[in-house]
Amino acid sequence: MLTVKERGQFVATLRYVYVAIMETLSAWVPTAPEMEAKLLFGEHIWDAAQHADTLGKRTFELRMPLQKSIRPAEGYVDFLAAVAAIGPTPQRLAAMYDVLLPALAARQQRYIDSTDKLVDAPTVRILQRYLADNARMLDSARALRDELPALQLNDGPWVAALQKREAGLELVASAMPEAVAAEA
Amino acid sequence: MPATKDTKVVRGIEVRNDPAREPCFKIVHLHHDVPDEGNETIEARRMRAHREYNQEVQTLEVAALCLVDFPDAPWALRMELARQCWDEARHAELMFHHLKELGGWKGMYPIANLDWSVVAMLDSLPARLAVQHRTFEAGSLDIEVAAVPMLRDMGHDGQAELTDAIEADEIQHVRFANEWLKHLTDAQPRAVMQVAQAMAWLRKLVEATSLDALKVISTNDETRQLAGFSNAEVASVSLLDNAGIGSIPGARGPADE
C-alpha cells in the first residue's frame, strides 16, 4: 500500500505538471497563428487549471500545504520545457495531444491500479474524472485536425521519438514504490 | 514580470507587436481602420461579427498572457484568468459561427489588435486588470447592454440572445478584476501607483491615436454594479459620461456607432 507521503508526492507532482500544461497552452495562444488552435488551447487551459486546483486541494488532505506542487524528476522537467518550446502548431498539437496528455493519462491509470481503492478513494475519484476529461480533450484535438488537415503532423518518427523519450522518464522526483516507478 | 517585448510603434507610441494571425488576415493598427458600417445591412452585420470574433480572440490572448507572465500571482486569481480563457474561446467560436451564418469568412475584413498591443505592454498584473478588465471590458459591458434591445428592435433576435449571453459571462470577468484589484492594492500600496501609471499611459495613447474610444457611450449603472463597481465609482463614470469624456478606452466593438 502506498503511504500517505508517497500519495502526497504523486498528487503534488501531478499538480506541478498540470500547472505547467496550463502555462504552456497559455503561451501557445498568442503565438499560434491558427485561430482554431487558439480556441482549443483556450478551452484546455481551463481544464488543466481545474485539474491542478483539485489536486492542490487533495495535497492538503495528505498533510501538505494547500495547492502544494512538487517539482518532478529533472528529466521530466526538461521534457515539459522541450514541449513548451515547440514552435509550429502541428508539432505543438502532436506533442500535447499525441504524447504528453495520453502518457499522463497512462501514468494516472497506473497509479489508480497500484493504490488502495478504499484508503486512497478521494485521489482515485479525482484521477478517474481526469481520465474522462482527458479523453474529451484528445477527442477535441482529433476533431480539429480532421477538420483542418494542415494541422495534422505527418511525421510518425518525430512523434514516436517523443513518446519514447517520455516513456523513459521518471515522473516523481523521489523514489516511488517499485510497482509504480517501474512502469512509469 | 514579462520578458523583453516584441514591440511596434503606433503614432509615435511604442506598443506590443500583434499576436500571431494567419496570412488570410490583413492587420491594421487603429480601430478606425477596421470597417464599421453599423448594423443595418447584412454587410454591416458581417463586419460586426468579424470584429467581435477577433476581439474575443484578443481577449483570450490577453488573459492567457497574464497566466504566462505572472506565475506568482495568487492561485485563485490565476483560476479566474484560466476560466476567462475558456469563456473567451467559447465567445470567439460563437461569433465565428455567427459570421459564417451571415455568409462571412475568416479574413474577410481588416482587423486591429490594439487592445492586445496596449495591455501586453503593461508590466504588472494590477495594471493589466485595471486596463483590460476594469476599463476595456467594463466599457464593452455598457455597449452590450445597449446593443441587446437595439438588436431585438431590428429583428435580430438570435444575435440579441448571443450578445446577452456573452454579456453575462463578461460581468464575471469585470467583477473578479474589481475584487482582485481591491485586494491587491490593499495588500501592496505599490500596485496603486502601477495602476495610476498605466491609466496615465493609456490616456496618452488615446490622445495620440485618436481612438474611437472617445465617442460617448452611456454607462449602464445596473450592469456595472453587478460587475462589482461601487456606487461611488458608477456615479463617477456617469459624471464623466455626462461631461462627454467617459468610457475612454471601452469604445471598441461593434455597437460604438
Q: For A57-66, B49-58, B139-148, B215-224, which range has the lowest pLDDT when averaged over its residues?
A: B215-224
What's the rounded mean pLDDT across residues A100-121? 97
Nearest CA in chain B to A27: B68
Report chain A residues whose CB lies below 8 A from the CB of B79.
Answer: 49, 53
Q: What share of chain B is helix, strand, coil (3-state, %, to 5)?
A: 65, 5, 30
Higher-pLDDT residue of B60, A181: B60
> Which of A162-171, B167-176, B191-200, B232-241: highest mean pLDDT?
A162-171
What's the rounded mean pLDDT across residues B36-46? 90
Selected for mutation to probe chain A from B85, B94, B95 (highest A CB count within 10 Å) is B85
Query: Considering only CA atoms, which of A93, A97, A104, A85 is closest in space to residue A27?
Result: A85
Residue A169 in this model has a pLDDT that exceeds 80: yes
Residue A182 in this model has a pLDDT that exceeds 90: no
Q: Considering only the beta carbons, identify the residue of A31, A38, A50 that sits closest to B60.
A: A38
Residue B112 in this model has a pLDDT that exceeds 70: yes
Q: Is A133 on the interface with B (CB under 8 A)?
A: no
pLDDT in tens, B226-244: 666 666 665 555 444 444 3
- Whether the CB-CB separation of A2 and B20 falls below 8 Å is answered with no
Q: DSSP of chain B, one letter per residue? A: ---SPPEEEETTEEEEPPPP--TTPPEESSGGGS----SSSHHHHHHHHHHHHHHHHHHHHHHHHHHHH-TTS-HHHHHHHHHHHHHHHHHHHHHHHHHHHTT--TTSS-EE-HHHHHHTT--SHHHHIIIIIIIIIHHHHHHHHHHHHHHHHTT-HHHHHHHHHHHHHHHHHHHHHHHHHHHHHHH-HHHHHHHHHHHHHHHHHHHHHT-GGGS-----HHHHHHTT--HHHHHHHHHHHHTT--SGGG--STT--
What's the rounded mean pLDDT across residues B119-133? 95
- Residue A43: pLDDT band with limits 50, 70, 90: very high
- Residue B220: pLDDT band with limits 50, 70, 90: low
H helical segments located in A32-120: 35-61, 74-84, 89-94, 101-114
**Residue B36 CA, distance from chain mean position:** 17
DSSP category for residue B112: E
Q: Is A29 on the interface with B (CB under 8 A)?
A: yes
Give the mean pLDDT of chain B.
84
Selected for mutation to probe chain B from A15, A18, A21, A26 (highest B CB count within 10 Å) is A26
How much of chain B exceeds pLDDT 70, in percent?
80
Residue B20 in this model has a pLDDT that exceeds 50: yes
Record: contact B83-A49, CB cut-off 8 A: yes
- Residue B23: pLDDT band with limits 50, 70, 90: very high
How much of chain A exceeds pLDDT 70, in percent?
94
Q: Is A148 on the interface with B (CB under 8 A)?
A: no
| pLDDT given at position B254 | 31
Q: Is B148 on the interface with A (CB under 8 A)?
A: no
What's the rounded mean pLDDT across residues A12-35? 98
Nearest CA in chain B to A28: B64
- Residue B8: pLDDT band with limits 50, 70, 90: very high
Give the mean pLDDT of chain A.
94
pTM, entire model: 0.89
Higher-pLDDT residue of A9, B213: A9
Residue B253 in this model has a pLDDT that exceeds 50: no
What is the distance between the alpha carbons of residues B250 and B214, in angstroms, rounded to a whole number?
Answer: 9
* Neighbour-count burial for A2-31, b at 16+ CB within 10 Å, e otherwise: beeebbbbbbbbbbbbbbbbbbbbbbbbbb
Amino acid making up residue A169: L
What's the rounded mean pLDDT across residues B171-181? 94
What's the rounded mean pLDDT across residues A70-75? 97
What's the rounded mean pLDDT across residues A30-35? 98
> What is the SS3 assignment for B230?
coil
Q: Is A81 on the interface with B (CB under 8 A)?
A: no
Residue B180 in this model has a pLDDT that exceeds 80: yes
| pLDDT given at position B217 | 39
